[in-house]
Amino acid sequence: MSSTGRVTQACARCRKQKLKCDALRPCLLCVRAGVECEARFIPPKARSDRASPARRRRSTAHTNRAGAHQTSLLSSSSSTTSIPSFPQPSASPNAQVPAACGQHQSPRGERQDAPDQSPNESQQFGANTSVIGFAKNVFRHNDLASPSITSTIPGDPGVFRRSTSRWTLHRMIMPPPTVMHTLLEAYFDRVHWFIYLFHQQSFMTRADALLSGSPWTRQDMPAIMTMLTASAMALKCILNDPEWAGHSVLATYALDARSLLADFIGEIRIHLIDLLDDSQIETVQVCILLGTYYIYHGSPSLAWSILGMAVRTAYALALHCEDPEDHPQIALQVRHRTWNHVTVADTFSAMIYGRPAGLDAEFAQVQPLSEMDDTVVTLEVTTTDEPDNLISTLSRLPFHVLKYRLYTITRRALDTFRLLRLRDPLSSEDQQALISAVSHIESLLGAWQKEVPPHLSWDDWQNVDPNGPFPAKLHDLTHVGESQTRIFYLQAMVLQVTYDSTLILIHRPLLEHKMAAGATLSSSQNFVSRSLEVAVDAALRISRVPMAKFNHHLSLSFAFMHFFTAGVILCIPPARQPFSSLAQEAKAGIMRIILTCRDLGSSSQIARHIDQLLTALLRITVLREMDNALQNQRAGVVSAEQGNAATASFNSDAPPCQVVDDRPSLNDQASLYSNQSYSTSVPSRLAASLATNLTGEGDAEFSFDLGGVHDNPGIEFDTQLDEAFGTFGQMMFNVQPDDPYTPWNWGSRSR
Listing DSSP states for 474-515 in one string gives: GGGGGGB-HHHHHHHHHHHHHHHHHHHHHHHHHHHHHHHSPB
Residue 299 burial class via C-beta count within 10 angstroms: exposed 0-12, middle 13-18, buried 19 and up: middle
DSSP helix/strand/coil, 105? coil
pLDDT score for 224: 97
Helix axes 581-599, 522-543, angle to 10 degrees: 40
Check: CB of residue 527 under 8 Å from CB of residue 493.
no
Cα angle, residue 701 at apex, residues 695 and 706 outer, rounded to 5°:
65
DSSP helix/strand/coil, 600? coil
Q: Report whether pLDDT(24) > 80.
A: no
Q: DSSP letter for 718, please.
A: P
Residues 688-741: tens digit of each pLDDT: 333 344 333 333 333 333 333 334 333 344 444 444 444 443 444 343 333 443
> Is-above-0.95 flag for pTM?
no
DSSP H or E stretch at residue 305: helix 300-316
Which range has the worst mean pLDDT, 29-33, 48-52, 281-285? 48-52
Residues 213-257: tens digit of each pLDDT: 878 999 999 999 999 999 999 999 999 999 999 999 999 999 999
Which range has the worst mean pLDDT, 122-136, 463-477, 499-513, 671-685? 671-685
User: Which has more confidence, 448 or 13?
Assistant: 448
* CATH architecture, range 1-40: Irregular (4.10)
| Number of residues that make up the chain | 751
DSSP H or E stretch at residue 216: strand 216-217
Phi, psi of 166 (to 5 degrees): -75, 150
DSSP H or E stretch at residue 273: helix 257-278
Judge if the upstream peptide bond of residue 93 is cis by omega within 30 degrees of 0.
no
Cα angle, residue 516 at apex, residues 513 and 517 outer, rounded to 5°:
140
Beta-bridged to residue 166, according to DSSP, are 217
Check: CB of residue 528 under 8 Å from CB of residue 511.
yes
Residues 450-483: tens digit of each pLDDT: 999 988 998 888 877 766 776 666 776 877 888 8
How far is Cα 116 from Cα 28, in angstroms, rounded to an integer? 12
Check: CB of residue 512 under 8 Å from CB of residue 543.
no
Amino acid letter, residue 351: M
Residues 627-684: tens digit of each pLDDT: 888 887 766 555 444 555 544 444 444 444 333 333 333 334 333 333 333 233 333 3
pLDDT score for 521: 61
Span 418-433, mean pLDDT?
82
Residue of 435, 442, 573 lying closest to 500 (CA atoms): 442
Amino acid letter, residue 642: Q
Residue of 203, 221, 214, 188 lying closest to 97 (CA atoms): 203
Rounded to the nearest 10°, the torsion over CA 517, 518, 524, 525 is 70
DSSP helix/strand/coil, 17? coil
